Amino acid sequence: MNSIKPLPEVLTLKQAADYLQLTQSTIRRMAREGVFPGRCVGQEWRFLKAALEDWLRGRDSRTVLLQQAGALADDDTLPALRKAIYATRGRPETEDGTGD
């Protein structure tokens, strides 16, 4: 009986290449350049299957982060937090120094 074995959540370079139907050298190069998500652990590359799926959908980590930040837009504590961050940095919140 030929059963299809599901891919693990963490993929090797070969598994990621097979999954994306690209060569291993292309996957390695794109990961080194930061084009898509991967981590080099020692001499071995590892890729989260879910991160590759997000990449395929066009959702990079920057987009996800911005979407998460948008969830804070209605947070009443955000102005005070932002003010404290800028005070710690020793600079005004706006170019003209008004903080508005």
Q: What is the pLDDT of residue 69?
A: 64
Q: Is 51 exposed, middle or buried (0-12, 13-18, 19+ CB in 10 A)?
A: buried
Sequence-distant contacts of 69-78: CB under 8 A, at least 24 apart? none
pTM, to two decimals:
0.53
The average pLDDT across 66-88 equals 74
30-72 confidence digits (pLDDT tens): 889 888 889 999 999 999 998 888 888 875 556 655 665 666 6
3-class secondary structure per residue, the chain = CCCCCCCCCEEEHHHHHHHHCCCHHHHHHHHHCCCCCCEEECCEEEEEHHHHHHHHCCCCHHHHHHHHHHCCCCCCCHHHHHHHHHHHHCCCCCCCCCCC
Q: What is the pLDDT of residue 13?
A: 96
Q: Of all residues in the chain, what percent carry a pLDDT higher than 70?
A: 73
Q: What is the pLDDT of residue 63?
A: 62
Extents of the domains making up the chain: 10-89
The average pLDDT across 79-88 equals 83
